[in-house]
Structure 1
């Protein structure tokens, strides 16, 4: 490659489609991701994020179109593609009967990492995720956040060019989520690595290089966070009606009002006098009013007509986490 040539994208997807029976999970999806990008797939549960990741990781075969990772076709050159990717799945995949070291060592053996290099890489990865002191402890004694960090270390052990993280912070507390993202930022500073993350936590992707919004298997928008806000964002007023009658009256006056979290209504600000006019009419009939500046949340609402987080998503996350803990007892 000469100095004038652009680097080859880490991921290229062209007209990808995938069905589960009658349900179209991916609908003519095309995108490319740069070699050193932090790329986020943003969408609610069931949007098609995990299906796309599974195809790129060679777990699923597409029904139509093509995809390549690190220059290798995911169908025709699946083995070579797998050697260039690391994956952290949404569901835990560690063997909790083994120690941290044994989990990493087994992964290195599977990827045929040589003995001396494997030991060095294990030491480096445990240090990266601050688990060196837990090297010889059984994984079943780890917290959920520690297990996620170990999974990231394992995914990086064979020195992949692309790291896929499918909902890596689901079920984790806020502090653990923040630490996971700190490790990812550190990785970006240390090495050239393409990171692709799926999430429905919208605040987690503000610092990504690019954000791709996907819903119902279709890409709705793709760009930098700032570009998406400029093109699709808007100021929103979030109000909490005091009762059902107030909510119905607000909907009648503002038919474009959207359902928000916790019984709120979300209204788009269409002129500078909007809030004054709203408060004059409904100030005594709402218990709370807040103004949201243009954000990725407002971008998603503008493109899909609904907020990103499903009303029961947080509770579903907690139930899934509790179920996993119960299953291990």
Structure 2
């Protein structure tokens, strides 16, 4: 009996081994395609990021510079701005009700790298300046993260609300589902131009006309020229266009939840809120994770909206990388910026997976 059992186990393990080998053989074409379209180009970009390559130059003219490109993009320092003392009073000088401080030019280092002001901020009654060798890159990174976090949060929240409404049965649901997808179906560049027209800083713009008629403004609000309004406007445009995509994903996830679970919970006396947090949200976690990863990846590499509407007034990481390559013709620097974008996206994706406890096995 023991010999027969051992033989059966040996045949079983041999069968499993054969199936495993067949599975790996079947995956070889996919791996080859991945290597051709993803791994090889990524390796090229990483390699170029360690050189001083310029656009349209020969390979022989490239020099290995190590991490100099990354150092130039990421080098930052924080220095305290000393107050300007009024010689007559011996106290800090006040102008227009605001205390005055020395210029950042006098406190930021110039050697071996020249630092330029990126941001100023106050903390515990003192004034500080954040200096960077590439302040435009730091500002683009901050704006991109703010854009991604805000837009993805709002799209997830609104997408879930829309999905919960549209999975219920009511008259006209099909029409609403079709209408919901219209913003998402519009090409991003076209949508950006439509919003640019509606937000013109004159009464020609739809929003300024409405605000003026309601007595909420002068009718000349410059949404794209006012620095404080630029990023919120970009976020609003993205939320309007991409919320239908999130709602569509959530509707697919909601349709997979068995109705028997809701019926049993309703019999037990669970209300709508408790059913949502006890049934819907836990079972929707994988779908939410996929939606968050896709949207975060997409929003962190946003390019078209910033490029079309702002046109260099303000950068996202992708549009700044484009500027490095096309305007400054620096292949090495733009490659380093691209690698940093890839790393940022990877960090966000892994964080989502861990936060939502998604099983990746």
Same fold (TM > 0.5) = no
With normalisation by structure 1, the TM-score equals 0.26
From the two aligned structures, give the one with the greater helix fraction.
2
From the two aligned structures, give the one with the greater strand fraction.
1
With normalisation by structure 2, the TM-score equals 0.24
Q: Which has the larger radius of gyration?
A: 2
